[in-house]
Amino acid sequence: MNTKVLTFLVDDDAAYLYGTRKLLEYHKLCDTVLTFGNGRQVADFMKEHLYDKERTPDYILLDLEMPVMDGWQFLEEFLQMKPLLGKEVKVYIVSSSIDDRDKDKAKSISVITDYLVKPLNSAGLREIFKPAEQ
């Protein structure tokens, strides 16, 4: 592995962020994990480091319901940034919503790799990072 794998966790639930980060670190599924409390925070961070490959994530695990800027709104901004990003970014929706409307909406957005329902356990997380491990 030449480059370090960077993962962004975006969720307004601090306990969830903490737990998931610990799991990722423990299983060494990626090299660096950064956590954000809402869409605004992660969008601002990405805009700031737009051309910095080191700080552009390989994975974004995105919650939908968040204050200030929710997952959908972030995706709108992300779509504008995408052509300027130096690498392929895989976006996973990780939401507790089991509403089909959310799932269908996610399917209609091309940049979303998959829609996953919380909670993600160790096995679930491994599935996401499998290609990176190989």
- Closer to other proteins by CB, 69 or 112: give it: 69
- Region of 21-29, 43-51, 77-85, 104-112 interacting with other proteins (CB under 8 A): 21-29
**Which of 1, 2, 15, 108 touches other proteins (CB under 8 A)?**
15
- Containing 26, the helix (H) or strand (E) segment is helix 14-26
Buried/exposed 26-46: b ≥16 CB within 10 Å, e otherwise: eeebbeebbbbbbbbbbbeeb
Check binding of 46 to other proteins (CB under 8 A): no
Task: Give the footprint of other proteins on residues 71-110 (CB under 8 A).
Answer: 95-99
Q: How many binding residues for other proteins (CB under 8 A)?
A: 26
Provide the CB-side half-sphere exposure for 12 (13 A, CA): 13
**Which of 20, 59, 75, 115 touches other proteins (CB under 8 A)?**
20
Contact in structure between 42 and 95 (CB atoms under 8 Å): no
**What is the number of other CB atoms lying within 10 angstroms of the CB of residue 7?**
25
**Which of 49, 103, 105, 118 touches other proteins (CB under 8 A)?**
118
Check binding of 62 to other proteins (CB under 8 A): no
